[in-house]
Amino acid sequence: MSNYHIKHLEEYFQVYRKSVRNPEAFWEEIAEEHFLWRKKWDKVLSWDFSKPEVTWFEGAQLNITENCIDRHLATRGEKTAIIFEPNNPEEEAQHISYYQLHDKVCRMANVLKEKGIQKGDRVCVYLPMIPELAVTILACARIGAIHSVVFAGFSSNALATRINDSDCKIVITSDGSYRGNKSIDLKGIVDKALEECPGVAHVLVAKRTKSTIEMKNGRDEWLQPLLDAAYGDCVPEIMDAEDPLFILYTSGSTGRPKGMVHTTGGYMVYTAYTFKNVFQYRENDVYWCTADIGWITGHSYIVYGPLANGATTVMFEGVPSYPDFGRFWEVIEKHKVNQFYTAPTAIRALAKQNLEFVENHDLSSLKVLGSVGEPINEEAWHWYNNNVGKKKSPIVDTWWQTETGGIMITPIPYVTPTTPTYATLPFIGIQPALMDEEGHEIMGNQVEGRLCIKFPWPSMARTIWGDHDRYRDTYFTAYKNNYFTGDGALRDAVGYYRITGRVDDVIIVSGHNLGTAPIEDAINEHPAVAESAIVGFPHDVKGNALYGYVILKETGETRDRDNLRNEINQQITEHIGPIAKLDKIQFVSGLPKTRSGKIMRRILRKIASNDVSNLGDTSTLLNPEVVQEIIDNVV
Ligand code: PRX
């Protein structure tokens, strides 16, 4: 029997050593014993980080939906696969069994086929957290189409860029979406985006808010009648292990968003195996991850990882503050949630509320708590541990990325002793390294450096859609023969890792990855703006918030500053989405630049963080005089 389910620390070390000494034999055993393959692989792994090229389970054939649905039908057909908890607690929750999921996915798959979608075609999914979202991505996987989910909080501009980048032929959306006491006109956003997307022939619209929307003749159709008419079975397309499963966009520090491409076999094996261990999932547990399926966390740990294990996974449409700040705790009590996985920004927001919101609910079902998306500060960790876990449920602080596909550094609950703010030890098969700025690996413990991964793992992204050079340059050039994460980390005396944050120009705001360049581009399009620079500064709920330094054109100098601030944020909302709005905007006459013209963000970051005691040597700047002016006028 392979070591599919790790149960104690000694076993972790033993399995870890095995996975590192002979990765191919290790992953072969896991893949062989726990998944359904139509054809076995010819080779477990080939890799060359200099190209970079990585293939896992080459030559193998499978369909991931057979693993996530069909194979459970004989033993778990009546078991609930998905619990849908609506935004409004008065609306009844839905329990979708594996049988029902099979029926829904097959119908949706047949609808997509009818619309001409074939293996390899890209399907854009712009849906709120309703069952149709999970069903649509599984339906794509059923027929071998590549899904590209765009988070339904992104603006029409951001949506259009993503649709065009991967040439999506069809968009699946809904009339609107609910978020707390607000509703959002999703279809309107899609209509606007599609003015820029000539390649989209069909739009299928799920009915959610029943708001009045426009349906464009010949292009738009309501989804439900098509599903009702479709056949409830669909033969799965047989895919190669290395066929793309999905594209998911993430922000880079420069330029356009990066469409990370994940493939089928390795992604399935790794997300399923991590899910089982990181959440210590047992049959009949109810698992809830509060992320949106628009992010990688939702792909891997709401849909694929849990369903590949035949788990019951909760999909929550709402927000933690609606109808009040007790909602998360109410849902845990209502569905007797055993594993709960959320983000530090949510924990910090909830920790600010009256403790009664937590205490009014029975949380005794909880066994494991998880955290993801950004470093969890000590205060938030203790609040979570004391008040939600009642010091009985271990917290798994899971570090990973869109690019990594699955959890990389994490405690295993009831196995790895936890330490607040530490993601602790690498997961089985993961070989981290810390590097100095010259590109050498820093050996030993009690050291700090840039976090790289030395050896391939099954769920790593294989490329950036349409731009393999950018994939190589972004991740595999800075540290030869290593994958560079963009994060800094330290390794303490016992070998535990603590992630210290991004070392590039990506800023994590409320767990959302935001690149500075696209935001600056959006601001610079404002007619009154000449130039801008964005940095992050510490924020007690969001982790980081955005601070913008803006140089106005002469024509803008006479304008009212508050109006300009609103317009700039409006501009950002339209180009990217409200998540990228700036908390503070300072108008400046210049930005500190090196003699080669590069903005010294380090100085701007310090000023925005109110830490001007040690700005370093500014005398080599092209324009040292602006530094004092900026400090004097800080907002
Ligand atoms: O900086 C790290 C941070 O989030 C980045 C990845 O963001 P994204 O691709 O959106 O994926 C988020 C969900 C997996 C990382 O480079 N990050 C993620 N988890 C943690 C974290 N930072 C510290 N601790 C974590 N547990």
Q: From ligand 1's centre to the CA of 32, what distance in Å? A: 30
**pLDDT tens per residue across span 427-449:** 999 999 999 988 999 999 999 99
Residue with CA at minimum distance from ligand 1 atom 8 = 401
DSSP 531-590: EEEEEEEEETTTEEEEEEEEEEPGGGTTS-HHHHHHHHHHHHHHHT-GGG--SEEEEES-
pLDDT above 60 (res 545): yes
Which atom of ligand 1 lies nearest, measured to the CA of 376? Answer: 24
**pLDDT tens per residue across span 357-378:** 999 999 999 999 999 999 999 9
Which atom of ligand 1 lies nearest, measured to the CA of 513? Answer: 10
- Looking at residue 3, its pLDDT comes to 75
Which atom of ligand 1 lies nearest, measured to the CA of 403? Answer: 9
- Looking at residue 168, its pLDDT comes to 98
pLDDT above 60 (res 534): yes
Q: From ligand 1's centre to the CA of 617, what distance in Å? A: 32
- Looking at residue 602, its pLDDT comes to 87
For the stretch 299-302, contacts whose Cβ atoms lie closer than 8 Å and that sit 24 or more positions apart, written own/partner, are 299/137, 299/149, 299/246, 299/248, 300/267, 300/271, 300/274, 300/275, 300/405, 300/406, 300/407, 300/459, 301/271, 301/275, 301/341, 301/407, 302/134
Using 50, 70 and 90 to split pLDDT, how confident is the model at 556?
Answer: confident
Which single residue is written with the structure tokens 């370093």? 616
**pLDDT tens per residue across span 370-412:** 999 999 999 999 999 999 999 999 999 999 999 999 999 999 9
Burial status of residue 77 (CB atoms within 10 A of its CB: 0-12, 13-18, 19 or more): middle
How far apart are alpha carbons 105 and 159 in whole angstroms? 25
- Which residues form the pocket of ligand 1, taking CB atoms under 6 Å from any ligand atom? 250, 296-297, 371-375, 397-402, 423, 485-487, 499, 502, 508, 513
Q: Is 260 helix (H, G, I), strand (E, B) or coil?
A: strand
Name the CATH superfamily, with its identifier, for domain 506-632: ANL, C-terminal domain (3.30.300.30)
Residue with CA at minimum distance from ligand 1 atom 25 = 399
**Count of Cβ atoms closer than 10 Å to residue 326 Cβ:** 20
**pLDDT tens per residue across span 154-171:** 999 999 999 999 999 999
pLDDT above 70 coverage of the chain, percent: 99
Q: From ligand 1's centre to the CA of 399, what distance in Å? A: 6
Q: From ligand 1's centre to the CA of 297, what distance in Å? A: 10
Residue with CA at minimum distance from ligand 1 atom 2 = 374
Which of 293, 297, 372 maximizes ligand 1 atoms within 8 Å of its Cβ, making it the mutation to test the pocket?
A: 372
Structure tokens that stand for 269 in this block: 């094996």
How far apart are alpha carbons 246 and 461 in whole angstroms? 10
Minimal CA–CA distance to 124: which of 197, 232, 185, 226?
A: 197
pLDDT above 70 (res 509): yes
Residue with CA at minimum distance from ligand 1 atom 13 = 373
pLDDT above 60 (res 1): no
What is the arithmetic mean of pLDDT over 313-322? 97
How far apart are alpha carbons 591 and 466 in whole angstroms? 34
- Looking at residue 20, its pLDDT comes to 98
**Count of Cβ atoms closer than 10 Å to residue 465 Cβ:** 23
Structure tokens that stand for 164 in this block: 């065009």
Q: From ligand 1's centre to the CA of 401, what distance in Å? A: 5
Q: From ligand 1's centre to the CA of 373, what distance in Å? A: 4
Q: From ligand 1's centre to the CA of 28, what distance in Å? A: 28
Q: From ligand 1's centre to the CA of 269, what distance in Å? A: 21
Write out the H or E segment, with its range, that includes residue 272: helix 265-278
How far apart are alpha carbons 7 and 277 in whole angstroms? 9
Residue with CA at minimum distance from ligand 1 atom 10 = 513
| 9-475 CATH | 3.40.50.12780
**Count of Cβ atoms closer than 10 Å to residue 632 Cβ:** 7
Query: Could you check whether 9-475 and 506-632 share the same CATH topology?
Result: no
Which atom of ligand 1 lies nearest, measured to the CA of 409? Answer: 26
How far apart are alpha carbons 630 and 635 in whole angstroms? 10
**pLDDT tens per residue across span 33-57:** 999 999 999 999 999 999 999 999 9
* Dihedral (CA of 260, 377, 606, 615) sign: negative
Annotated domain spans of the chain:
9-475, 506-632
Q: From ligand 1's centre to the CA of 489, what distance in Å? A: 12
Residue with CA at minimum distance from ligand 1 atom 26 = 399
Which atom of ligand 1 lies nearest, measured to the CA of 501? Answer: 1
Which of 248, 300, 401, 427 maximizes ligand 1 atoms within 8 Å of its Cβ, making it the mutation to test the pocket?
A: 401
Range from 390-404, 412-426, 565-579, 589-603 carrying the lowest mean pLDDT: 589-603
Q: From ligand 1's centre to the CA of 345, what distance in Å? A: 12
Beta strand pairing call for 53-58 and 61-62: unpaired
Range from 131-145, 203-217, 243-257, 424-438 carrying the lowest mean pLDDT: 243-257
How far apart are alpha carbons 603 and 619 in whole angstroms? 12
Cα-only R_g, the chain = 24
- Looking at residue 2, its pLDDT comes to 67
Write out the H or E segment, with its range, that includes residue 172: strand 170-174
Write out the H or E segment, with its range, that includes residue 12: helix 9-21
Structure tokens that stand for 86 in this block: 């609506």
Q: From ligand 1's centre to the CA of 511, what distance in Å? A: 7
What is the arithmetic mean of pLDDT over 227-234? 98
Which atom of ligand 1 lies nearest, measured to the CA of 410? Answer: 26
Q: From ligand 1's centre to the CA of 488, what distance in Å? A: 11
How far apart are alpha carbons 527 and 556 in whole angstroms? 8
Residue 632 CA, distance from chain mean position: 38
Which atom of ligand 1 lies nearest, measured to the CA of 506? Answer: 1
Average pLDDT, rounded, for the chain: 96
